[in-house]
Amino acid sequence: MTLAMILAGGRVGELNALTYYRPKSAVPFGGFGRVIDFALSNLMNSGIERVAILSQYRSYSLINHLGTGAAWDMTGRYRRISILPPFQGSDETDWYRGSADAVFKNLDFVKYQKPERILILSGDHIYRMNYQDLIDYHQMKDADVTFACIKVEAQEAHRFGVAAIDDEDGEIGGKVSDYWEKPEQPQSNWASLTVLCFKPDVLYRVLKENQHEGSFEFGRDIIPKMIGDGLRVYGYKFSGYWGYTRTVEEYWRSSMDMLGDNPDIDLEKWGFRTNLDHLGIRDFQPLITGEECSVANSLIYNGCTVEGTVKNSILFPGVHVGKGAIVENSVVFFNNIIGKGCRLNKVVSDVNNNYGAESSVGGRSGCMPGRVTVVGWDNAVPAGYRIEEGAMIYPGIGEGNWPDIVKEGEVIR
């Protein structure tokens, strides 16, 4: 039996307004789901039936989203999702001090499950992977830990944990001889995807030893230590699509990868699942298109009404695009009302926003702006208002708190 543990606690400051009230893994993605649905759907499609979620930051959004776990077929006699929040015990009183510490603090839970393998995943990535392939490789190599890596551009490698992997098994994987977390001068371009499969006894031991250190991260601390101790550390070479959501630009790029004739992410083919009970997604009627609407290269979910123009965009349930409005290159979360004659270009708009008539947000219509504009949730943008590109509007700017105009790149709190 494989026990999967999803690291879903992080806020990640670079997403700013989008993670003000929710952890990154609960950020909406793909027109109806959440980022964490990718890890959960992968688990479901890999036949892994016991899952624990380590959550810390603003976890209620995540807890709502997970529900009973039925959406991913994880309720049943032997199937379940457990949420593991930080807790106070006789010894433990701290918050999770890092990913490795989060797992260590829950080792009683882990050991009780008597897993044969422990799969540790980040809940923050957009990808499709059959974990069973990685597990098979891990078993074949009798490894102490096996983690998935992907080849990235050399100039990007410094942003990741990178591993030196040999060609012991060609394109499948190889032995890891070195590992650096976010190195200034990367000596490899195999980036870790934060998908790690551990031998339980080894994991228990290294986590315990790690408690004496001052840092508690799988990438920065555990993997280098295991290599240093001469344990069997293997890299599994992954070559599929991998989307990041660490920054707003990355989030926008990964979203745009879902569009086009042959999208990098085809949710239907991937067997993607989300919890339709969350925010009552299942209760929306189908999309209604008006008499004079125009839609091109977009994804639009049930519950939307489109009376204006939508191109190169993703609309979540309950978005109303008014007459004469143009929404382009944008991602609009649940329940936005975009008034008559509005312009949104390269905008990520969080839930429950209301754009007054003729307001204009992001780049000028018809061109591709350089930077993403973010509007946090519960904002009512006044009619005729202008928010220039690259601006970041925090959630809930009250009426009367809006400056005359939001200039390029400005942050409004």
Partner 1 sequence: MTWSKDALVLLLAGGVGSRLNILVKKRAKPAVPFAGIYRIIDFSLSNVMVSGLTKVGVLTQYKPLSLMSHLGTGEAWDFTGRSRGVKILPPRTGEKDSDWYQGTADAVRRNMDYLRNNPAREVLILSGDHIYNMDFDAVIDYHRSKGADVTVGMMVVPESEIHHFGAGITDEDNRIIDWEEKPKVARTNLASMGIYVFDYAYLLRTLARNRDEVDFGMHILPHAIKCDNVFAYPFSGYWRDVGTIQAYWQANMDVLNPESGISIPHWQVRTNVEAEGRPADRPPARFGANVVLKNSLISAGSNIQGTVINSVLSPGIVVEKGAVVKDSIVFADCIIRKGSMVDLAILDKRVEVGAEAVIGEGGNCDFANRVYPSHLFSGITLLGKEARVPARMSIGRNCIIDCNVTADHLPAAGLADGESIFLPEK
- Interface residues with partner 1 (CB under 8 A) are 30-32, 71, 261, 267-268, 272-274, 276, 282-302, 306, 310, 314-316
Which CB sits closer to partner 1, 44 or 226?
Answer: 44
Give the three-state DSSP class for 268: helix
Which CB sits closer to partner 1, 106 or 302?
Answer: 302
300 phi and psi angles, rounded to 5 deg:
-135, 130
Which CB sits closer to partner 1, 162 or 306?
Answer: 306
Are 50 and 113 in contact by the 8 Å Cβ rule? The answer is yes
Which CB sits closer to partner 1, 34 or 273?
Answer: 273
Q: Determine which helix (DSSP H) or strand (DSSP E) holds 206, and give its type and residue range.
A: helix 200-210
Nearest distance, CB of residue 182 and partner 1, angstroms: 34
Which CB sits closer to partner 1, 142 or 261?
Answer: 261
Nearest distance, CB of residue 287 and partner 1, angstroms: 5
Nearest distance, CB of residue 98 and partner 1, angstroms: 35
Q: Provide the pairing of β-strand 126-127 with 242-243.
A: antiparallel
Rounded Cα distance, 201 and 209, in Å: 13
Nearest distance, CB of residue 192 and partner 1, angstroms: 29
Which CB sits closer to partner 1, 12 or 70?
Answer: 70
The arrangement of strands across the sheet holding 326-328 comes to: 294-296, 309-311, 326-328, 343-345, 360-362, 386-387
Which CB sits closer to partner 1, 199 or 273?
Answer: 273
Nearest distance, CB of residue 126 and partner 1, angstroms: 13
Nearest distance, CB of residue 278 and partner 1, angstroms: 13
Q: Determine which helix (DSSP H) or strand (DSSP E) holds 327, and give its type and residue range.
A: strand 326-328
Q: Determine which helix (DSSP H) or strand (DSSP E) holds 161, and give its type and residue range.
A: strand 161-165
Give the three-state DSSP class for 66: helix
Which CB sits closer to partner 1, 168 or 292?
Answer: 292
Six-digit token pair at 30?
């793909």
Residue type, 277: D
Which CB sits closer to partner 1, 96 or 301?
Answer: 301
Nearest distance, CB of residue 113 and partner 1, angstroms: 28
Nearest distance, CB of residue 347 and partner 1, angstroms: 18
Nearest distance, CB of residue 304 and partner 1, angstroms: 9
Q: Which long-range contacts (CB under 8 A, 24 or more apart) does 8-13 make?
A: 8/36, 8/53, 8/54, 8/55, 8/62, 8/123, 8/124, 9/54, 9/55, 9/56, 9/57, 9/59, 9/96, 9/102, 10/56, 10/57, 10/124, 11/57, 11/58, 12/124, 12/246
DSSP state of 352: T
Alpha helices by DSSP H, 320-408: none
